[in-house]
């Protein structure tokens, strides 16, 4: 199929439609609104459900209702709206119904701003609501990847009866890139057997997001944890550049000694920096997690066996950083470069951080004596000395 130039938000909407989304509920918020607007036109054209809810609180609960009906359903929002959805997400998780959430992150905290950010890593990856569970979180770095991961999101949501979040930042949502869209899928003929469709000719179905007795609630939690472990075993996805194997650069040998870890748009910028550093002869590669949950911890731990050091780059104050540190487990130093408030890290700044990491780790470190070395760079660029009045 021919490629076409599309804005990230609209490409995701069209991908969802082609993946067979049957209902969309949402509330306007920048930088996600084009997704909702696109749906408001396309869904009724196709005889599918579009509804602009009165709030994100209502939207996520409408999603819950449609998911209970066994329908392919989604919503989209941006950081403050996602905060409002947390309770609903928790109910969806407790009920084991599938739902796809698109979060086009913006700067926080508070009203923050509408500029791109990755500051929802904690709120989406770590929990997305109260209770013990984790959704699947997919982090695209290009518009094409956003399209592909949106289709995957529906498949995984249904396969595991779980929440799947497509987590991107405002830059990707607003950016136009050439994309190849998937073919239009047929809608499911009948809802699944567990769906709430009326007890016609069968025993009643109920969706109950609570268990009063402690042993029953623990059993529900064990089931959830088994599912999460199953997902962790089977669904880890990442992309590596110049690290080893087919990706390795022939000139500089087959294994990177320094590993940059970055996801989404930050991963894209980091790739330019990695390429620039390699031009200077630094053996550095990029590991870009695609599933933030399940996190590629085993792979990072494996890389840490031989790597001299890690640099984490994020558009936040160091959220994924915590998972990288846990994965590296003190086997190598982990530095951090982050920008916040809607600032995007620049390739030059990242390249400088790579150079620093290279300098610091070029002498051998005796871990047995010094113990785990974890370095943390100042977040953001050095401040210019203040001159005049302030």
Q: Which is nearer to another protein, 43 or 328 (CB)?
A: 43
Q: For residue 62, how far is the Cα from the chain centroid? A: 23
Contact 241, 162 (CB under 8 A): no
Q: Which is nearer to another protein, 97 or 265 (CB)?
A: 97
Q: How far is the CB of 224 from another protein (least distance, A)?
A: 17
Q: How far apart are CA 295 and CA 354, in angstroms?
A: 23
User: Roughly what angle, to the nearest 10 degrees, separates helices 33-45 and 8-18?
Assistant: 30
Q: How far is the CB of 130 from another protein (least distance, A)?
A: 11
The β-bridge relationship of strands 163-169 and 49-52 is: unpaired
Phi, psi for 353 (deg, rounded to 5): -65, -35
Q: Which is nearer to another protein, 45 or 386 (CB)?
A: 45
Q: Which is nearer to another protein, 80 or 209 (CB)?
A: 209
What SS3 class is residue 35? Answer: helix
Q: How far is the CB of 142 from another protein (least distance, A)?
A: 32
Q: Tell me how far CA of residue 101 lies from CA of 47, 128, 129, 278, in angstroms.
A: 21, 11, 13, 37
Q: How far is the CB of 191 from another protein (least distance, A)?
A: 9
- The enclosing H or E element of 176 equals strand 176-179
Q: Which is nearer to another protein, 52 or 301 (CB)?
A: 52
Q: Which is nearer to another protein, 209 or 381 (CB)?
A: 209
Would you tell me which residues interact with another protein (CB under 8 A)?
A: 22-23, 25, 49, 51, 53-55, 57-59, 61-69, 71, 73, 87-88, 91, 95, 196-201, 204-210
Q: How far is the CB of 222 from another protein (least distance, A)?
A: 21
Q: How far is the CB of 19 from another protein (least distance, A)?
A: 16
Token duo for residue 60: 């996520």
Q: Tell me how far CA of residue 375 lies from CA of 232, 306, 360, 382, in angstroms.
A: 29, 18, 10, 17
Q: Which is nearer to another protein, 66 or 282 (CB)?
A: 66
Contact 99, 136 (CB under 8 A): no
The answer for residues whose C-beta is within 8 angstroms of residue 217's C-beta and 6 or more apart is: 210, 211
Q: How far is the CB of 376 from another protein (least distance, A)?
A: 39
Burial 234-247 (b: 16+ CB within 10 A, else e): ebbebbbbbbeeee
Q: Which is nearer to another protein, 42 or 71 (CB)?
A: 71
Q: How far apart are CA 116 and CA 372, in angstroms?
A: 34
Q: How far is the CB of 187 from another protein (least distance, A)?
A: 11
Token duo for residue 380: 């953001």
């Amino acid at each position: 199929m021919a490629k076409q130039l599309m804005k990230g938000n609209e490409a995701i909407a069209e991908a969802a439609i082609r993946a067979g989304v049957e209902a969309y509920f949402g509330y306007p918020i920048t930088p996600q609104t084009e997704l909702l607007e696109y749906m408001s036109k396309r869904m009724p054209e196709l005889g599918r459900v579009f509804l602009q809810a009165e709030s994100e609180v209502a939207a996520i609960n409408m999603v819950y209702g449609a998911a209970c009906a066994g329908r392919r359903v989604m919503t989209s929002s941006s950081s403050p709206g996602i905060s409002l959805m947390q309770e609903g997400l928790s109910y969806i998780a407790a009920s084991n119904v599938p739902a796809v959430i698109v979060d086009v992150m913006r700067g926080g905290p508070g009203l923050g701003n509408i500029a791109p950010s990755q500051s929802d890593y904690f709120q989406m990856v770590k929990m997305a609501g109260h209770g013990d569970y984790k959704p699947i979180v997919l982090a695209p770095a290009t518009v094409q990847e956003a399209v592909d991961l949106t289709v995957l999101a529906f498949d995984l949501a249904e396969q595991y009866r779980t929440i799947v979040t497509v987590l991107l930042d405002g830059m990707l949502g607003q950016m136009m890139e050439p994309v190849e869209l998937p073919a239009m899928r047929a809608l499911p003929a009948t809802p699944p057997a567990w769906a709430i469709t009326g007890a016609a000719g069968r025993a009643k179905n109920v969706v109950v997001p609570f268990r009063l007795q402690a042993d029953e609630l623990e059993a529900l939690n064990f089931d959830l944890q088994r599912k999460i472990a199953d997902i962790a075993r089977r669904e880890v996805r990442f992309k590596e550049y110049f690290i080893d194997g087919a990706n390795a650069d022939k000139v500089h040998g087959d294994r990177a000694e320094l590993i940059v870890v970055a996801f989404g748009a930050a991963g894209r910028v980091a790739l330019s920096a990695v390429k620039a550093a390699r031009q200077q002869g630094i053996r550095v590669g990029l590991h870009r997690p695609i599933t933030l949950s399940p996190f590629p911890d085993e792979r990072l731990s494996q890389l840490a066996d031989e790597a001299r050091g890690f640099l984490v780059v994020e558009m936040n104050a160091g959220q994924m950083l915590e998972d990288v540190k846990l994965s590296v487990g003190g086997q190598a130093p982990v530095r951090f470069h982050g920008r916040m408030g809607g600032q995007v890290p620049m390739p030059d700044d990242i390249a400088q951080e790579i150079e620093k990491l290279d300098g610091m780790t070029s002498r051998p470190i005796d871990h047995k004596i010094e113990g785990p070395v974890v370095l943390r760079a100042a977040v953001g660029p050095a401040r210019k000395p203040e001159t005049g009045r302030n």
